[in-house]
Each structure stands twice: as structure tokens, then as C-alpha cells.
């Protein structure tokens, strides 16, 4: 009895690998085209790091006329959740990162290199595992959990590396007859790689991001097929990325230490290995220390967070691009109107260690992005967002869309557009005072600044509205009248004038306009007061003044 019989006994129905080699030929792409992928597990949680990785992958594929595909890695069936796959695909779509090839939400495949979900590739993995068994490069292992424990304890006692390797293995050299006997008896087993590695030897590898790295060769007889017949991550990675003709593996750097094993697998299977680019994780600063953005602790680790907060997708993408290539920011400054597609992304410029995720910076980017939107676009986006997350705001805006457009038009579409909105969830608070029914019924604390004396405030407001205010004034006339009003009441017409002679005045024109602003809006900080008065209109203003 030999390896062939053993292989037939274990995988009687597996096809010859030549079948798959022909079915999934080399891709016909131009020189330099990158075929890469995003390979998430459908856990129901899409991490911002996954979006980051997809952005990088899609950008490189696009730039080189290559292919970006998504492969769902569901071989750990304990971790799976029902809507896991659609969550991933929907999130990618939302950010314009839809892959060229992938599983569809209905379970069908889009592309010629599928199935794009690992649980449907069982026969493929088994065919390749069989090919290794046939050559004596893999073997069935019957060790129980207790056996493995015992090995580990002995290794610890002997101060040796733990794991299933070299002389510590129990099934590696089991005679084939004996193994077949056990299988026929119904003993449970898994399939292990018979690693030819020597840890005293080093392998050198050049990672596109990390640069040159050197590791000892792998000598662990890792599991390739588990007892449920499904492959481990390592084995599936080699088989899938070979058959899907990936030539650049972009993945999280937690996998970098597995490179020696992966190269060994490619070699033993007779595959040409891909290039690797290991991306450093997105980090967060906490108490002066850097740590990975955590799914458990940080709400902003979830892609859904940005949707819920109403941070526009362009802002998130711009920010991630900033993290990915530090020269992006300078490029953006010089190319304000260009599409990200025009930016020449270089994966080699990605940071070796994890970039800090800076929410303040992201919101800043978002403010700039939103400042370029037209009032129509803002209204449309806020309506879409509020329809799901804030029904009250949705109804408020829908009551009179023309009025809502005017509000969003304040200080917009000019050379220096307003930059006060960072996310749609901020909008309500920033515009609520523009609605009479809300403003007139609210019990706000008026934030008067310098002038706080009630009689003085009354005098300013009454004089202004009785004598100066005219809703038909243009901005310059309006402003001149503010100055006239200031002068009449003993305030300086110009700030500078006041600063030069503070004792000659009660204050300056800015203090006067603040009083008017606070009286009419309840707030000391608002966008342009003239525009606000224009949008509110006389009727509303008078109601406010008399409140
Ligand atoms: N499913 C693996 C993960 O989520 C994929 C790693 C890879 O991209 O190869 O970590």
C-alpha cells in the first residue's frame, strides 16, 4: 500500500488538479496589471480597516488595469452570521469600492474564477490536498486534543518551541497501512502538511510595504484540512490565490509572520507565489499609547458608524487616502477639483507601522468636503440620512423644501463657503433655530456676550428694528446701517477705532451685531447674520424680537 491508495481512501471523489488548472487559466491582462483581493470573513462586522484595505486594493487594480475581487472566507463556520455577506458587499458599494468580481448577495457568482465563497470550494481544496497526499507531502493525523496537550506540556518542560513539528510529531511517520487501517476503523483525523522546512535556515522575502524581511523556514506540520473537511486559512489562501490568479496579496500585517509557511505551501503545491503587501493596522491613541482600533472598544472601528453619524463617504475615503499615502494631502491641496482616480497611489509609500486614526482630522476633512457641496446636494443627503436616523429632522425639512434649501444656501457656493458642518448628525443642532415653531417655543439660554444689561439690549434691538432694519437692503447698505446704529448708541463704527480708544466707547459694531444675532437666533455663533436675516424674513424676525 502506498500514498496513492491512502489519498484515494481519504478523498475518493476528488478530481485531478489539472481539471482546476484548466478551468481557471492565467488571466489575460496587460503587463503589470495587478490582480488583488479583499478576503473578509462574514462576521457581520465590517471594520474600517477592511474598507481601508479595499480602497488600497481597488485603487491599485484600477491604476494598473488589473482586477479587484472579493472572496468570502467562511471556513470558520462558528464565526459566521446571517447577513455577514450582504453587509460586506453593501458597505463596499456604499463607498464606491464594489469589486470587479465577487459573490453576489443572492449567492451567485460574478466572475469566472469563482465560487467566491470558500464553503463552496470544498472539492477544490480536497483535490489539492489529495495531490499532496499522493506525493507523501501531507498525511492524516489522528492525534486527539489530549495528545496535542501532552506534546505541548512536554515541549514546555523541555524548553522547546511548541507546536507539531519534527521529532515531536506522532503521526508524521506512521506507516501508510496503519493509517489506512485507522481510517477504515472510523478513527477521526485531520490532514497535515509534511513540512520539509529547516528552522536553522532563513528565508528572505521582500514585502512591498515592509521591505526586506528574514524569517526562519517553517517546520510546523500545519493542519491543511480540518475534521469537517474544510481547509484552514493557510491552505485555502494558497489554493485560492493561486487559482484566482492573484498576483499581489494585500492583507493585514498580522499575517506577515505566516509568510514562510505560505511560501512553503506555494512551493510544495507547485504554484508561483504572489507578491505580498502587508498593511499596518489603523491605530488609536489612548493614554499616550498606541493600540489597534478595536471592534469592542471603539465605535469608529465599524464602517456602520460613519453611516449612522452621517459622515459623507467622500470624506471617509479622502481621509483614508490621507492615511494610506502621506503625499495625498499635498496633492489634494493643489488639485481641489480632481477625482481621487487622478491621484497616483503608491503602495510602497504606505507606512510600515500603524497610522493613527484621528477623528478630529477626519471631521476636518469632512467639513471641507461638505463645504464644496451645493445646497441641493446637502439637502438631498441630509434628507436621505434623516429619513433613517432622525425622522423629526426629516419631517422638518420636508415641510418646506424651498425654505430648507435657503437655509443650506447660507454662505454656500461662494469663494469662502461655510465650513461648520462635519456630519449630517450635526445639522439639526446647527439649523434648528431657523424654524419659528422650534425657536419660539424653546427655553434657550441666550448667549449674550459683551453686552448683558437688559435695558441696553432692549435699546439696541428696538432702535435697530424700529429705525434701521429694512428687509430690502442689500448687504452693504445693511452693514452701513449697523455702523450708523453703533454710532447712534455710543459704540465705535469700526473695531479698530474702538481698540485705539476703548474709553471713548461702550463697545464696537461687532458687539452691536452680536446682540442682534443672539436676539434673533439665540446664539452668539452663526453663519453670516445678513444672510440669516434674509432667509428668516421680516415676519419671523419680528416674532423673535417680541419673544
Ligand atoms: N480572512 C482573512 C482575514 O480576515 C483574510 C486574510 C487575507 O487577506 O488573506 O484575516
Q: Is residue 63 in some structural domain?
A: no
Average pLDDT of the chain to the nearest whole number: 95
540 and 471 Cβ atoms separated by less than 8 Å: no
Mean pLDDT of 202-224: 96
Mean pLDDT of 163-169: 97
Cα 403 to Cα 23: distance, rounded to the nearest angstrom: 61
166, with CB counted inside 10 A (0-12, 13-18, 19+), is middle
Q: Is the CB–ligand 1 distance for residue 281 below 6 Å?
A: no
Evaluate if residue 155 carries a pLDDT over 70.
yes
Q: Which atom of ligand 1 is nearest to the CA of 255?
A: 6
Q: Is the CB–ligand 1 distance for residue 238 below 6 Å?
A: no
Q: Which residue CA neighbors atom 1 of ligand 1 most closely?
A: 40
Band (79; pLDDT cuts 50, 70, 90): low
Q: Which atom of ligand 1 is nearest to the CA of 50?
A: 4
Same domain membership, residue 499 and residue 398:
no
How far does the centroid of ligand 1 lie from the alpha carbon of residue 40, in Å? 6
How far does the centroid of ligand 1 lie from the alpha carbon of residue 312, in Å? 27
pLDDT of residue 414: 84
Evaluate if residue 390 carries a pLDDT over 70.
yes
Q: Which atom of ligand 1 is nearest to the CA of 38?
A: 8
pLDDT of residue 150: 97
Range of the domain at 251: 3-13+122-279
Q: Which atom of ligand 1 is nearest to the CA of 237?
A: 9
Same domain membership, residue 165 and residue 271:
yes
Same domain membership, residue 159 and residue 264:
yes
Q: Is residue 30 in some structural domain?
A: no
Q: Is the CB–ligand 1 distance for residue 73 below 6 Å?
A: yes
Same domain membership, residue 252 and residue 143:
yes
Evaluate if residue 80 carries a pLDDT over 70.
no
Q: Which residue CA neighbors atom 3 of ligand 1 most closely?
A: 40
CA contacts within 13 A on the Cβ side of 446: 21
Band (78; pLDDT cuts 50, 70, 90): confident
Same domain membership, residue 305 and residue 240:
no
Q: Is residue 126 in some structural domain?
A: yes
Q: Is residue 67 in some structural domain?
A: no
Q: Is residue 334 in some structural domain?
A: yes
Evaluate if residue 506 carries a pLDDT over 70.
yes
CA 49 remoteness from chain centre: 5
Band (28; pLDDT cuts 50, 70, 90): very high
**Domain count within the chain:** 4
pLDDT of residue 401: 96
pLDDT of residue 270: 98
Q: Is residue 111 in some structural domain?
A: no
Question: Partners of 214 in the beta sheet?
Answer: 204
Same domain membership, residue 292 and residue 253:
no
Q: At what angle do helices 313-324 and 48-63 cross, to 10 degrees?
A: 80
Q: Is the CB–ligand 1 distance for residue 232 below 6 Å?
A: no
Same domain membership, residue 421 and residue 483:
no
Same domain membership, residue 518 and residue 478:
yes
Band (394; pLDDT cuts 50, 70, 90): very high
Q: Which atom of ligand 1 is nearest to the CA of 73?
A: 1
CATH number of the domain encompassing residue 487: 1.10.10.350
pLDDT of residue 32: 97
168 and 220 Cβ atoms separated by less than 8 Å: no
Mean pLDDT of 471-479: 94
Residue of 69, 233, 256, 276 to test ligand 1 pocket, by largest number of atoms within 8 Å of CB: 233
The last residue of one of the domains, among 388, 412, 427, is: 427
Question: Partners of 86 in the beta sheet?
Answer: none
Q: Is residue 20 in some structural domain?
A: no
How far does the centroid of ligand 1 lie from the alpha carbon of residue 88, in Å? 14
How far does the centroid of ligand 1 lie from the alpha carbon of residue 192, in Å? 21
CATH number of the domain encompassing residue 203: 3.40.50.620
SS3 state at 374: coil
Choice among 64-73, 305-314, 498-507 with the minimum mean pLDDT: 498-507
Amino acid at each position: 500500500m502506498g500514498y496513492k491508495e491512502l489519498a484515494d481512501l481519504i478523498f475518493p471523489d476528488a478530481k485531478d488538479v489539472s481539471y482546476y488548472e484548466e478551468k481557471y487559466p492565467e488571466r489575460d491582462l496587460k503587463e503589470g496589471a495587478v490582480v488583488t483581493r479583499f478576503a473578509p470573513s462574514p462576521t457581520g462586522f465590517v471594520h474600517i480597516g477592511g474598507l481601508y484595505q479595499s480602497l488600497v486594493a481597488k485603487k491599485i487594480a484600477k491604476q494598473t488595469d488589473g482586477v479587484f475581487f472579493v472572496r468570502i472566507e467562511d471556513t470558520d463556520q462558528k464565526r459566521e452570521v446571517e447577513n455577514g455577506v450582504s453587509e460586506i458587499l453593501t458597505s463596499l458599494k456604499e463607498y464606491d469600492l464594489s469589486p470587479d468580481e465577487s459573490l453576489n448577495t443572492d449567492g451567485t457568482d460574478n466572475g469566472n474564477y469563482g465560487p467566491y465563497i470558500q464553503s463552496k470550494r470544498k472539492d477544490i481544496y480536497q483535490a489539492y490536498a489529495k495531490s499532496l497526499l499522493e506525493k507523501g507531502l501531507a498525511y492524516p493525523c489522528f492525534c486527539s486534543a489530549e495528545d496535542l496537550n501532552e506534546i505541548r506540556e512536554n515541549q514546555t518542560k523541555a524548553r522547546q518551541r511548541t507546536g507539531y513539528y519534527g521529532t515531536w510529531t506522532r503521526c508524521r511517520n506512521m506507516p501508510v497501512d496503519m493509517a489506512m487501517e485507522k481510517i477504515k476503523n472510523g478513527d477521526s483525523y485531520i490532514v497535515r502538511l509534511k513540512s520539509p522546512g529547516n528552522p536553522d535556515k532563513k528565508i528572505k522575502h521582500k514585502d512591498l510595504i515592509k521591505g526586506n524581511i528574514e524569517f526562519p523556514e517553517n517546520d510546523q506540520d500545519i493542519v491543511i484540512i480540518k475534521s469537517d473537511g474544510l481547509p484552514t486559512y493557510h491552505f485555502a489562501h494558497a489554493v485560492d490565490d493561486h487559482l484566482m490568479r492573484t498576483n499581489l496579496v494585500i492583507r493585514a500585517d498580522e499575517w506577515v509572520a505566516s509568510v514562510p509557511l505560505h511560501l512553503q505551501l506555494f512551493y510544495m503545491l507547485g504554484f508561483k507565489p504572489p507578491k505580498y503587501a502587508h498593511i499596518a493596522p489603523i491605530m488609536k491613541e489612548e493614554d499616550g499609547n498606541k493600540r489597534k482600533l478595536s471592534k469592542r472598544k471603539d465605535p469608529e472601528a465599524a464602517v456602520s458608524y460613519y453611516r449612522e453619524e452621517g459622515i459623507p463617504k467622500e470624506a471617509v475615503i479622502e481621509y483614508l487616502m490621507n492615511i494610506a499615502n502621506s503625499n495625498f494631502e499635498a496633492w489634494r491641496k493643489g488639485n481641489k477639483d480632481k477625482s481621487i482616480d487622478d491621484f497616483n497611489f503608491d503602495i510602497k509609500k504606505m507606512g510600515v507601522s500603524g497610522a493613527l486614526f484621528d477623528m478630529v482630522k477626519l471631521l476636518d476633512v469632512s467639513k471641507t468636503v461638505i463645504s464644496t457641496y451645493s445646497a441641493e446636494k446637502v439637502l438631498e443627503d441630509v434628507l436621505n440620512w434623516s429619513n433613517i436616523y432622525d425622522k423629526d429632522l426629516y419631517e422638518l425639512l420636508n415641510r418646506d423644501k424651498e425654505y430648507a434649501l435657503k437655509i443650506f444656501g447660507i454662505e454656500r457656493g461662494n469663494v469662502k463657503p461655510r465650513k461648520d458642518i462635519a456630519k449630517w448628525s450635526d445639522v439639526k443642532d446647527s439649523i434648528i433655530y431657523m424654524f419659528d415653531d422650534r425657536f419660539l417655543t424653546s427655553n434657550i439660554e441666550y448667549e449674550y456676550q459683551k453686552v448683558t444689561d437688559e435695558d441696553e439690549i432692549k435699546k439696541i434691538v428696538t432702535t435697530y428694528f424700529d429705525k434701521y432694519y429694512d428687509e430690502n437692503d442689500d448687504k452693504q447698505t445693511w452693514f452701513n446701517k449697523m455702523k450708523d446704529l453703533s454710532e447712534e448708541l455710543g459704540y465705535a463704527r469700526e473695531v479698530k477705532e474702538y481698540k485705539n480708544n476703548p474709553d471713548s466707547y461702550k463697545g464696537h459694531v461687532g458687539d452691536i451685531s452680536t446682540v442682534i444675532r443672539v436676539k434673533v437666533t439665540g446664539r452668539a455663533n452663526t453663519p453670516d447674520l445678513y444672510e440669516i436675516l434674509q432667509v428668516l424674513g421680516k415676519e419671523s424676525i419680528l416674532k423673535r424680537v417680541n419673544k
